[in-house]
Structure formats: C-alpha cells, structure tokens
C-alpha cells in the first residue's frame, strides 16, 4: 500500500530536480554474498561480488576466484559460471536439514546457514483485468491454503518464457500473520498492486503506457496479451530472509520527506562482516494463461 | 512602590481604555511601571488589577496609539478610564517579541513569543497565504522540518513534541495539503503564542513546546467580514457583535484549488486527479454578566487528495466550549470542555488492493483552572485537566468484505496542577509549578498505568527597569506520540500511547536568559541558553515499517540530549520594524538498537539558523516586507556504497544521519497596498509577494540512483497575488 501512495503522490506532486555534487565518504569494499537454495531439484546458484563506493561507476564487482560449497550430509561444490557460482550437481533443499554455505576468498572464510521453511499449497490462480486511468492492466490472483499461520513468510516470483520478470526490489512479499482476519482468509493477492514494476499492462495500451515511463529508467512496464502465459512461484521463506528482501524492497525508493528517511540498513546472515544473505525457498508453481 | 508588606491593604484598580471616539481598545497593555504587574484589556476595553496600597504609575500602550502614563494613589478601590490618542506617525507599531511589550523583561516567563494577526498579515506570502505556523517557524529555536512544511521542531525536539492548541483545544495534525498550509485560518486568528519552555501550568503532555492560537472574540460592527481571493485558495469570513457587545459570533471558511496549479505531469493525461482542502471555523462568545464569558467554537477541516481509484481524506474536527467566571477581585476560574479528533481514511478502489483504512485519535477532554490572588504579590493557580483518548490505529475493510482491526484501545490522561507565582524583594519573581499526571493505557495487549510528576521552576531577577536575567528548570512527560518518520506534514500520522512496552518520554530542561529593552522599549534584545536531557526518547528502528500493525514493535527508546543558544533583536515601533535572530541548536540520540548503539544526530539538529524580517511602512497605503531565512541543512543518511544482487544495484547505508542536506536559505519580498485605508467598510487590500526571490533550489529530498545524487526541490521563485476585501 505504501508504494501505491508514493506512486500517486509522485504523480500528483511532481517536484523539480537537479543532479548535484555531494561529498560522500569512500568506504572500504566489502564482500557481497547472495543466494538461496530452492526446494526444486536444480543447479543452485550463489553470487559473490564486492561492494563499491557510491560515487564510483563502472567497476566490475564480480568475484570469480572464490571457493564455494554448501554442506548438509553431503558436500556440494559450486563452480564459477559467468559471474555466478552454480552447484556442480542438481539438488533440491529438503525440510529439517541445515544447509551451511562456506565461501573462501582472499584467505578469509565466510559462512551462513539456512533451513527450508514449511510449505503451502496453491489451489488456483487467474488474471483479473482492470482499468486505471483508462489503461488496462492485469492482476494475477492466487488462492492457496495454509496461509493463516503467522509463521509463514512468502515471496513470489513471476516468470514469462522462463525469464524472471522482477528483481528482489520488486518482488511481492507477504507475512501471513498480517492477513489474519476475523473470517477465514484463504487467498493471497500475490502480486502486490502497489508495486508499479509488477503491474502487467494490457498490450493494446502499450503506446499510452510507454509515454508514462522514462525510457531510460530501470523501471519499465511489462505487457501481457491474450494467450500469453506467466508462471508464478510461491515460495515459503524464513523470517530472516523475508526481512532481507523487505529491506531490498524498501531500498528501491529514494528518500522522501513525506514518508520518512529512505535510508535502509541491510541485515546479513553471512559471517565475517560480509553483506548479503543465504536463504532457502520452498517453492510451488502455477502457470496462468491470459484469456 | 510595588513591594509592600503582605499585611498591607490591597485594592482593585479597574477601568476602560478607549480611543478618542470613545471606542473600546481591546488588547491594550496596562502595566504598572517598574514592576512586573500588568494586564491586557478585554474585548470591551476593560482592565482590572489587584495591588497593594501605594503610589503607582499606570502605563498604557496599544498598537497604533500614543502611550499614556498616569500616576495614581491607590488607597481605595479605584476606577480609572483612559483615552488614547491615535499615533499618526507610528500607526503600525508592531510587536514581535515577548508576550507583552515592556513585560518581556519583567515577566517571569521566558522562551515565549507572541505574534498578532496584524503582523502575520504583513509577512511575505507563499502562494497567496501567510501561514501562522510558518511565521512561528521564524522565531528563535524554532525550525521548519522541511521546505513548505507545517511541521516544526523546537529546540531540536520532534514535531510531535509540540502541543498545538486552537482556543485551548488540541489539534493533532496542523497540516493542510501535506504541510504547505496549516489548519489555522488567518481571518479568525487574533494572536499566536509559542512557549519553548516554562509552559503555563494547565498545559502538559508534550516535551518541546506549546503553541496557543487564539481566535477573535470581538468585533466593533454589528456585522462585518473579509473576503480573500488568492491564486491557490480563497476564503471568506463573517463576524459581528451586538451593540451592547454581549454577544459575538463569527464564521469563516477556506477552500483551496491547488490541484489546478501544481505542476502536474504533462506527458500523459491524469483524469480525476484532485488535491484540495477546506475548513470551517465558527465561534460564539456570550457575556451574560460582567463576570462571565461563555465561548463555544468549532473547527472542521478536511483534505482530500487522490486520483481516480485512490483517495485520501484526512483532517481535524474540534468542538470546544469555555466558561470564564470571575467570583471576585481575587478569584477567577475557567472551565473548558472540548472534543478533538484527527482521522484519516485511505481508500483504494483498485481491484486487488481494494481496501478502506480508517485511523483516528479522538479525545474528549475537560479542564478546570482557578486563579487566586492571595495578595498582589502572590498568585496561586490550581486546576485539573483530563483527556480520554480513543486510539484507532487501523480499521481495515478488504475488498472481499473481510475486515480486520489493529487493536483499538483507550487511554486516560489525567493531570492535577498547582502553580504559585510570588514576587519578592526588588521584583524578583519566582514561579513554581507541580503537575501530577496519571496516564493509563487500557489496551488488552499492553496495558499500563504511569504516575508521573512534572515540575517547572521559573525565576526573573530584574537588574534594572529595562533588563533582567531569567532562569527556568523543568521536567515534563509525554504519553502519546505519533508513528511518523515524515519530515513534512504526512497525513498518515498514527498516534500511539505509552504502554507496558513503551515508557513515557521524559525531558529535563534547563534555560537561562538575559533580556534587555532599549530606547523606551523600541528595541528588545534577548539571549537564551538551554540544555535538554531526554529519557525514554523514542525513535523508529532501522528499516521500520510504519504501516505495520504492531507499531510498538518498530519503536526503540533510549536517551537524547540537546543544547543551544538563541539570540534575538527586535525593533518594535516606528516606520521600520522587524527582527533578526540567530539560533545554534544541537540535538542527538543514543538508542541501543539503532545505529548499532552509536550516538547519532536527530534530524532536527540545526547548528546555525538565522531569520531576518523587516517591515517598512511608507505610509498608510503602502508597506513593504522582507524576509530572509537561513539554516544549516538537516542531517540525513547517504549511501556510502552500492552492491549488486541478481543484476540489480542497491545502495548501502552504514550509519544514521552522518551527512547533511544543502544549507537552506531564501529571500521573500512583499508589498501591501491599501488604496483607501481610512475606509472601515469595503476596504480593498492588495498583496504582491515573491517567495524565494533568488530562486534557491532548497532541498526537499535527495534521490540516490546509479552513483548520482539528485536534489529534489519543491519551490523555485514563486510570485503570488492576493486580493482582500474587508466589509
């Protein structure tokens, strides 16, 4: 809801702007480790990079000389693959197992542990077409079970033609306890309509919609036409991972005096002062066809 | 002189102050020279003082009139009526300093500023309006929280630490249009007083300041009015009084049309976009006897903003009543009963986010205060004030008909207070106040009752007739606060109460000041130093989600401190009037779970602030105003590095408020033209103002994206024109 408010106010209260020079301290670079294990059997992915000073641009931050492994009762080695580290074999994370990530880089060891969260079931899904300011848009809509337990935290990924449509700054996240109502609550509005990036506009309104967006912005509209298929992954995650993604969500906006400071402070579960998070996803999928 | 043994006889001196035509002069200052005694005339021009037997000199001053001195021998009850002559040369004598001319030195009260509606009307305008709160933001120690905002910080405190009162009743959110206007309509405002320390005994429950806005309660005509047409809003006011002046009434309203003029995006159509506010004031004053004044008033304001499928509506509602009764020359009392509510509604009609969110704080309250003059040198005030707060953080209706409620709860806030003001040898006056508070949070989840004590000790040590030193030591508690990180006037202020999880905030404050008047009070100088020690001060956790159902879970508490210097010089009479003030202010917090426990600057830390206001009255038709404002940029957190995850770049912040925005400054100019100032009826007034003359791009916020820093600013140079018709 916050984002929809910001979006509308931004439209209503456009202010002027200019790029300015500001002195910002150059801090020492930190190691950044991010990845999650999926319950789906697949080659799991970890990415490792370095932070760069805010005012520096164009630096290659990828780390390709680290040693990466994940241990449960087995030891899964990860190999460098164009800036990412992929497990050498496909495997899926399982319940009640502790997975420990170990990264060795520059004579330092970085570790983190994750455990797969419990899962829920998707019982159905469809797209609803509505109109905003005369522009058609689609809202994906899921029903599922098991949502009333406040121990559940969810993240939703959307794919079209196997391409992930949004980054972590855009994905929808829900804490089930916030949905508890006086009546049984058995659905999830899985794609948060407050998230502009996650809106699917109607293909027939492409021309009008594209006028609304700065073509150079990283935020670009997505379109759906009749017959298109999107895949939705509904992933149960741990509270810590939920908090991490929440902060990334918050950081996508800039500071705003109406809604307070834009400063966000990233949590991390990686040892040795590394930035990032090592989590796990208990995934369920559904394909939805635009009718 | 004024110092008399308490065993001496005491007598009343009373009378009426009028002009040459016999018209009553309200608000005239009647003081006893070389003492701290004094009072103001009421709407009938009546005054009354209670003094020991002796010889005195009455000094009567009033804006636009020649001052008058009159020697009296007080050995019995006296009635002294005085007629003042109109001041031809200095018609626009202006008071912008302490509460009463000449009493700014002798009164025990320090850290106080009063501004009349007349002064406010002369100030440069922003978009055709001079706002009461924005004028008060020019006082020493007071700072606007962000460009164009009605939010303000006093001595480094947060915006919710300010008690804001309209005719004595709480206003929970003073903002219209996201803070660009306040809820106070100049047409009905009589005067505004802000206390930065040493609050009057009947006020409490806030740490940093009390702002009292008094509306008009008098009128010379059976019916008269004012019509104002501006570029962004228009307003109308009617008031009147019966010929015997026993009954007064007023109604006033405003309606903005900002959405017609704001810079709406032009690259696409935005049907059904709206952004406006309206408000109404109504008041009736009845004086059935010479000893009774009964007032009844109300305020209703509402802002609406939104577009097509999303609507905000928010505002204050207020109903208040007061009965002031004078039992005899020694004893008087005031009974107040009122009800104040702030609420907002957020409605989204977008399919999947279809939701209605209602939030409010509603507080009926009652207070009773009695003033008793034990003798002319000793005044005792006793009273009580009670609020019963109904807090509704969120009633949420979802699109499918389901609903849920963030726990609604009630809280009782009861205070009993006593103050004694005693004048000793050499007019040394000491005021001591005790205020015992009971605050009871009656929620199911975190009930808690707190018993706390406020105390305030003030003293004035006159050095000579025109200079003095004042001291103030106090401890205050605050029991309700709002969940709002906003620096501006966000409509989504959720007030929440102290509970078993959140202790009341406590402030120990120490102030000392030097006050000097020069050239027969033409110039007023003051300097104050203060130190503030906060306990249980709250701030919001890193990455706090203020939309969360559990606001208390987002709150952290710890310690804070602030200190500063405030210097003020004012010229209060003559064709050229104005003031210049300088404030040094430091404010910091240390809260265990914020910023890794390291001390960090409050967003309201302002090392340097300067305000210069000049008004020049060329003649009765023309006057010119200049205003220059400067302050150090607000502390802010900047990202110091970026990381890349999944192809996206994120900013990384390390510490809170270690950087600052650009320094803020601007120059405003204003011209007022009254073609026929002698006309009482159908008098036209024109105002032309230029806000931000040199087009300074003062920061509203920074954006951080891809290694660049973008300065967003709201206002460049803004000319405005307003037409007023008084009838």
Work out whether strand B600-601 and strand B606-617 pair parallel, antiparallel, or are unpaired: unpaired
Per-residue HEC secondary structure of B104-118 comes to HHHCCCCCEEEEEHH
CA distances from A254 to A247, B43, B286 (A): 13, 52, 54
Chain A residues inside the 8 Å CB shell of B602: none
Among B272, B484, B640, the residue with its CB nearest the CB of A24 is B640
C-alpha–C-alpha distance, residues A189 and A185, integer Å: 11
Mean pLDDT by 10 residues, chain B (727 residues): 48 84 77 77 78 85 78 86 69 39 80 86 74 91 84 93 95 84 90 94 96 90 88 88 92 82 45 79 94 96 78 91 92 96 82 72 97 92 97 75 75 98 89 98 94 97 91 97 63 83 96 94 94 93 69 86 97 92 97 91 94 93 94 92 87 90 94 88 88 91 84 84 85
**Optimal mutation site among B151, B543, B551, interface A, most CBs of chain A within 10 A:** B543
State whether A185 and B146 contact (CB < 8 Å).
no
Compute the radius of gyration of chain B from its Cα atoms: 26
Question: Which tens digit of pLDDT belongs to each residue from A233-261?
Answer: 888 899 999 989 888 877 765 444 444 44
Residue in B136, B177, B168 with CA at minimum distance from that of residue B153:
B136
State whether A15 and B700 contact (CB < 8 Å).
yes
Residue in B276, B236, B235 with CA at minimum distance from that of residue B258:
B276
3-state SS assignment for residue B280: strand
State whether A260 and B486 contact (CB < 8 Å).
yes
Shortest CA gap B265–chain A (Å): 7
State whether A2 and B653 contact (CB < 8 Å).
no
What's the pLDDT score for residue B260? 57
B213 CB near a chain A CB, below 8 Å?
no
What's the pLDDT score for residue B13? 87
Q: What is the ipTM score, two decimals?
A: 0.86
Among A12, A128, A255, the residue with its CB nearest the CB of B352 is A128
State whether B353 and A4 contact (CB < 8 Å).
yes
Compute the radius of gyration of chain A from its Cα atoms: 20
State whether A57 and B643 contact (CB < 8 Å).
no
State whether A263 and B545 contact (CB < 8 Å).
no
For residue A49, give the chain B residue with the closest CA: B644
Residue in B115, B122, B92 with CA at minimum distance from that of residue B670:
B122
Whether the Cβ atoms of residue B45 and residue B11 lie closer than 8 Å to each other: no
Strands (E) in B155-201, as ranges, are 162-166, 169-170, 175-176, 181-182, 189-195
**Optimal mutation site among A83, A261, A267, interface B, most CBs of chain B within 10 A:** A261
B647 CB near a chain A CB, below 8 Å?
yes
B138 CB near a chain A CB, below 8 Å?
no
B48 CB near a chain A CB, below 8 Å?
no
Backbone angles phi, psi at A256, to 5 degrees: -150, 120
Among A17, A22, A260, the residue with its CB nearest the CB of B712 is A17
The pair of three-digit structure tokens given for residue B576, joined into one six-digit string: 């050229």
Chain A residues inside the 8 Å CB shell of B267: 211-212
Whether the Cβ atoms of residue A114 and residue A244 lie closer than 8 Å to each other: no
Look at B127 and A128; give whichever has higher pLDDT. A128
State whether B646 and A265 contact (CB < 8 Å).
no
Q: List helix spans (H) across chain A.
A: 2-12, 206-212, 239-251
Number of helical (H) and strand (E) elements in chain A, helices listed first: 3, 19
The pair of three-digit structure tokens given for residue B516, joined into one six-digit string: 């000097």
Chain B residues inside the 8 Å CB shell of A262: 701, 704
Question: Which tens digit of pLDDT belongs to each residue from A138-166?
Answer: 877 777 665 555 577 888 888 877 777 77
C-alpha–C-alpha distance, residues B133 and B145, integer Å: 12
For residue A217, give the chain B residue with the closest CA: B705
For residue A140, give the chain B residue with the closest CA: B352
Q: Which helix (H) or strand (E) holds A85?
A: strand A84-87
Chain A residues inside the 8 Å CB shell of B348: 1, 4
Residue in A254, A5, A9, A218 with CA at minimum distance from that of residue B701:
A254
For residue B660, give the chain A residue with the closest CA: A22
Backbone angles phi, psi at B415, to 5 degrees: -130, 140
State whether A54 and B638 contact (CB < 8 Å).
yes
Chain B residues inside the 8 Å CB shell of A13: 178, 262, 275
The pair of three-digit structure tokens given for residue A260, joined into one six-digit string: 């307070």
**Optimal mutation site among B275, B482, B483, B642, interface A, most CBs of chain A within 10 A:** B642
End-to-end alpha carbon distance in chain B: 47
Among A128, A180, A264, the residue with its CB nearest the CB of B351 is A128
State whether B641 and A29 contact (CB < 8 Å).
yes
State whether B709 and A22 contact (CB < 8 Å).
yes
pLDDT at A186 over 50: no
What's the pLDDT score for residue B514? 97
Shortest CA gap B241–chain A (Å): 43
Residue in B343, B340, B341 with CA at minimum distance from that of residue B359:
B343
DSSP B657: T
What's the pLDDT score for residue A31? 94
Dihedral sign of CA atoms B268, B271, B272, B277 in order: positive
Among B404, B543, B659, the residue with its CB nearest the CB of A250 is B543
pLDDT at A184 over 70: no
DSSP B632: P
C-alpha–C-alpha distance, residues B125 and B104, integer Å: 28
Burial of B246 per CB tally in 10 Å (0-12, 13-18, 19+): middle
CA distances from B153 to B142, B163, B623, B692 (A): 6, 11, 31, 22
Q: List helix spans (H) across A51-123.
A: none
For residue A199, give the chain B residue with the closest CA: B352
How many pairs of residues across A and B have Cβ atoms under 8 Å apart?
244
Note the residue count of chain A.
Answer: 291
B346 CB near a chain A CB, below 8 Å?
yes
State whether A51 and B652 contact (CB < 8 Å).
yes
Residue in B539, B715, B498 with CA at minimum distance from that of residue B637:
B539
B424 CB near a chain A CB, below 8 Å?
no
Whether the Cβ atoms of residue B581 and residue B139 lie closer than 8 Å to each other: yes
What's the pLDDT score for residue B552? 77
Whether the Cβ atoms of residue B145 and residue B134 lie closer than 8 Å to each other: no
What's the pLDDT score for residue B610? 98
| Exposure class string for B385-420: b at 16+ Cβ within 10 A, else e | bbbbbebbbbbbbbeeeeebebeebebbbebebebb
C-alpha–C-alpha distance, residues B192 and B167, integer Å: 10
Shortest CA gap A219–chain B (Å): 11
C-alpha–C-alpha distance, residues A144 and A185, integer Å: 10
For residue A276, give the chain B residue with the closest CA: B645
Whether the Cβ atoms of residue A1 and residue B355 lie closer than 8 Å to each other: yes
Residue in B524, B640, B522, B517 with CA at minimum distance from that of residue B581:
B524
Q: Which helix (H) or strand (E) holds B103?
A: helix B103-106
Residue in B567, B566, B606 with CA at minimum distance from that of residue B586:
B606
The pair of three-digit structure tokens given for residue A9, joined into one six-digit string: 């106010």
State whether A18 and B659 contact (CB < 8 Å).
no
End-to-end alpha carbon distance in chain A: 27
Strands (E) in B183-309, as ranges, are 189-195, 209-215, 224-230, 233-241, 247-256, 273-289, 292-307
Shortest CA gap A6–chain B (Å): 11
State whether A24 and B267 contact (CB < 8 Å).
no
Shortest CA gap B192–chain A (Å): 27
Shortest CA gap A247–chain B (Å): 7
Residue in B614, B675, B726 with CA at minimum distance from that of residue B124:
B614
CA distances from B631 to A77, B147, B691 (A): 58, 11, 17
State whether B643 and A32 contact (CB < 8 Å).
yes
Chain A residues inside the 8 Å CB shell of B269: 133-134
Shortest CA gap A20–chain B (Å): 6
For residue A194, give the chain B residue with the closest CA: B353
């Amino acid at each position: 809801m916050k984002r929809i408010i910001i979006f509308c106010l931004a439209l209503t209260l456009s202010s002027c702007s200019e790029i300015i020079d500001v002195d910002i301290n150059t801090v020492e670079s930190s190691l950044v480790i991010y990845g999650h294990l999926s319950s789906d059997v697949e080659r799991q992915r970890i990415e490792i990079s370095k932070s760069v000073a805010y005012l520096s641009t164009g630096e290659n931050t990828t780390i390709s000389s680290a040693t990466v492994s994940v241990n449960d009762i087995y030891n899964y080695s990860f190999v460098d693959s164009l800036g990412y580290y992929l497990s050498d074999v496909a495997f899926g994370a399982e319940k009640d197992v502790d997975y420990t990530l170990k990264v060795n880089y520059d004579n330092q060891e970085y570790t983190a542990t994750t455990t797969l969260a419990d899962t829920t079931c998707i019982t159905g899904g469809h797209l609803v077409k509505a109109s905003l300011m005369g522009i058609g848009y689609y809202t994906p809509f899921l029903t599922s079970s098991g949502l009333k337990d406040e121990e559940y935290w969810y993240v939703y990924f959307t794919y079209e033609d196997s391409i992930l449509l949004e980054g972590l700054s855009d994905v929808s996240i829900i804490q089930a306890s916030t949905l508890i109502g006086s009546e049984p609550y058995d659905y999830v509005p899985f794609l948060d309509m407050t998230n502009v990036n996650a809106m699917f506009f109607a293909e027939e309104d492409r021309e009008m919609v594209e006028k609304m967006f700065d073509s150079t912005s990283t935020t670009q509209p997505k379109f759906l036409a009749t017959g298109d298929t999107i895949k939705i992954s509904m992933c149960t995650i741990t509270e810590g991972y939920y908090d991490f993604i929440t902060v990334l969500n918050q950081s996508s906006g800039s500071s705003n005096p109406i809604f307070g400071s834009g400063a966000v402070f990233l949590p991390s579960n990686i040892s040795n002062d590394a930035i990032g998070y090592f989590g796990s996803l208990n995934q369920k999928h559904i394909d939805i066809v635009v009718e | 002189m004024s110092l008399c043994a308490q065993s001496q006889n005491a007598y009343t001196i009373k009378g009426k102050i009028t002009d040459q035509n016999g018209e009553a002069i309200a608000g005239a200052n009647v003081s006893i020279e070389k003492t701290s005694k004094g009072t103001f005339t009421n709407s009938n021009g009546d005054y009354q003082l209670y003094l020991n037997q002796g010889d005195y000199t009455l000094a009567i001053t009033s804006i636009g009139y020649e001052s008058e001195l009159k020697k009296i021998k007080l050995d019995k009850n006296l009635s002294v009526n005085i007629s003042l002559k109109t001041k031809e040369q200095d018609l626009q004598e202006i008071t912008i300093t302490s509460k009463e001319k000449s009493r700014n030195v002798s009164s025990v009260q320090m850290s106080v500023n009063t501004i009349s509606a007349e002064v406010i009307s002369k100030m440069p305008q922003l978009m055709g309006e001079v706002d009461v709160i924005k004028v008060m933001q020019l006082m020493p120690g007071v700072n606007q929280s962000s460009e164009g905002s009605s939010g303000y910080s006093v001595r480094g405190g947060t915006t919710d630490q300010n008690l804001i009162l309209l005719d004595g009743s709480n206003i929970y959110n003073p903002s219209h249009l996201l803070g660009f206007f306040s809820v106070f309509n100049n047409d009905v405002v009589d005067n505004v007083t802000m206390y930065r320390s040493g609050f009057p005994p009947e006020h409490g429950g806030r740490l940093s300041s009390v702002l009292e806005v008094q509306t008009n309660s008098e009128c010379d005509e059976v019916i008269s009015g004012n019509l104002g047409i501006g570029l962004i809003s228009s307003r109308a006011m009617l008031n009147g009084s019966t010929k015997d002046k026993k009954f007064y009434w007023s109604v006033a309203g405003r309606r903005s049309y900002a959405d017609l003029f704001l810079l709406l995006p032009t690259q696409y159509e935005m049907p059904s976009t709206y952004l406006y506010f309206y408000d109404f004031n109504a008041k009736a004053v009845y004086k059935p006897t010479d000893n009774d004044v009964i007032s009844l008033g109300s305020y209703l304001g509402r802002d609406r903003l939104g577009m097509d499928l999303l609507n905000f509506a928010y505002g204050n509602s207020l109903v208040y009543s007061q009965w002031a009764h004078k039992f005899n020359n020694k004893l008087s009392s005031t009974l107040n009963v009122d009800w104040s509510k702030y609420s907002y509604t957020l409605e989204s009609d977008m399919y999947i986010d279809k939701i209605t969110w209602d939030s409010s704080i509603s507080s009926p309250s009652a207070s009773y205060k009695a003033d008793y003059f034990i003798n002319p040198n000793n005044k005792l005030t006793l009273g009580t004030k009670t609020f019963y707060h109904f807090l509704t953080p969120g009633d949420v209706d979802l699109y499918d008909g389901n609903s849920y409620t963030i726990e609604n709860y009630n809280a009782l806030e009861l205070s009993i207070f006593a103050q004694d003001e005693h004048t000793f040898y050499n007019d040394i006056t000491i005021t001591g106040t005790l205020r015992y508070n009971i605050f009871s949070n009656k929620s199911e989840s975190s009930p808690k009752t707190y018993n706390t004590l406020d105390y305030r000790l003030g003293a004035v040590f006159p050095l000579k007739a025109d200079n003095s030193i004042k001291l103030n030591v106090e401890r205050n508690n605050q029991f309700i606060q709002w969940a709002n990180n906003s620096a501006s006037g966000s409509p989504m202020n959720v007030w929440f109460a102290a509970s078993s999880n959140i202790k009341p905030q406590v402030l120990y404050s120490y102030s000392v000041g030097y006050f000097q008047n020069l050239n027969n009070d033409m110039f007023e100088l003051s300097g104050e130093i203060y130190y503030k020690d906060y306990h249980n001060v709250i701030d919001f956790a890193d990455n706090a989600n203020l939309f969360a159902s559990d606001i208390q879970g987002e709150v952290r508490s710890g310690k804070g401190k602030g200190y500063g210097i405030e210097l003020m010089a004012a010229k209060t009479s003559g064709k050229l009037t104005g003031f210049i003030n300088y404030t040094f202010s430091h404010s910091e917090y240390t809260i265990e779970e914020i910023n890794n426990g390291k001390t960090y600057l409050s967003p309201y830390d302002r090392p340097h602030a300067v305000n210069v206001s000049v008004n020049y009255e060329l003649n009765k038709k023309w006057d010119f105003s200049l205003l220059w404002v400067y302050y150090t940029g607000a502390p802010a957190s900047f990202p110091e590095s970026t990381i890349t995850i999944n192809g996206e770049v994120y900013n990384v912040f390390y510490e809170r408020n270690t950087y600052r925005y650009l320094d803020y400054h601007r120059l405003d100019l204003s011209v007022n033209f009254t073609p026929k100032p002698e006309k009482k009826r159908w008098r036209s007034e024109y105002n032309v103002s230029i806000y931000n003359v040199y087009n300074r791009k003062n920061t509203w916020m920074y954006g951080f994206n891809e290694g660049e820093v973008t300065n967003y600013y709201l206002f460049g140079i803004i000319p405005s024109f307003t037409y007023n018709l008084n009838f």
